[in-house]
Amino acid sequence: MSSAFRAKSFPYRSAVEWVAEKRGRLTASGLPPLEVATPPEFKGHPGLWSPEHLLVCAVNACIMTTFLAIAERHNVSFLSYESEAEGTVEMVEGKFMFSRIEVFPTIAVADEHMAAGVRRAVDGAHRRCLISLSLKTEVIVHPEVVVEDEPTPS
């Protein structure tokens, strides 16, 4: 791994094969296959991940994984992390694209002292998320840090 880091270049490969109608099958070495389809609103199929969903997932998950890396590096403690995300596809200059992606991470901490470090980590995740940095689309992050009270012993 250290030599790969020196090279500072990492390849990510996948393959897609058309199955039928507007459906395909994504594969990558060592990973479980993933069914994909055109979404229903573009004359596709319900119940399957679409390329549109995958992009929103990539952004949402990358902000989480970047947060986890920063939290680890700076010994930032937290109890839970969950995040909703919504991407909007609309016509821009005559072509469909993602005009914006909004991400709503909710991070629970045990006490107020931990909240500041978590806020810095999620801010860093927004700035360093390599998927967001690869996008023209504006990515807006709305973090919420909640202090979870310890359950009172009965």
Region 19-38 residues binding a second copy, contact defined as CB under 8 A: 22, 24, 26, 28, 30-32, 34, 36-38
Q: Say how far apart CA 25 and CA 15 lie, in whole Å.
A: 8
The interface with a second copy within residues 34-93 (CB under 8 A) comprises: 34, 36-44, 46-62, 64-65, 68-69, 72, 80-92
Q: Which amino acid is at 149?
A: D
Of 6, 12, 149, 153, the one binding a second copy (CB under 8 A) is 12
96 binds a second copy (CB under 8 A): yes
Instruction: Return the bridge partners of 101, or none.
Output: 87, 139
Are the C-beta atoms of 141 and 122 separated by less than 8 Å? Answer: yes
Phi, psi of 72 (to 5 degrees): -65, -45
Comparing CB distances to a second copy, the nearer of 25 and 113 is 25
The interface with a second copy within residues 100-119 (CB under 8 A) comprises: none
Are the C-beta atoms of 129 and 55 separated by less than 8 Å? Answer: no
1 binds a second copy (CB under 8 A): yes
Of 15, 116, 140, 147, the one binding a second copy (CB under 8 A) is 15
Q: Say how far apart CA 130 and CA 126 lie, in whole Å.
A: 9
Comparing CB distances to a second copy, the nearer of 55 and 141 is 55
CA distances from 17 to 25, 51, 60, 120 (A): 5, 14, 26, 42
Size of the site for a second copy (CB under 8 A): 78
Comparing CB distances to a second copy, the nearer of 77 and 88 is 88
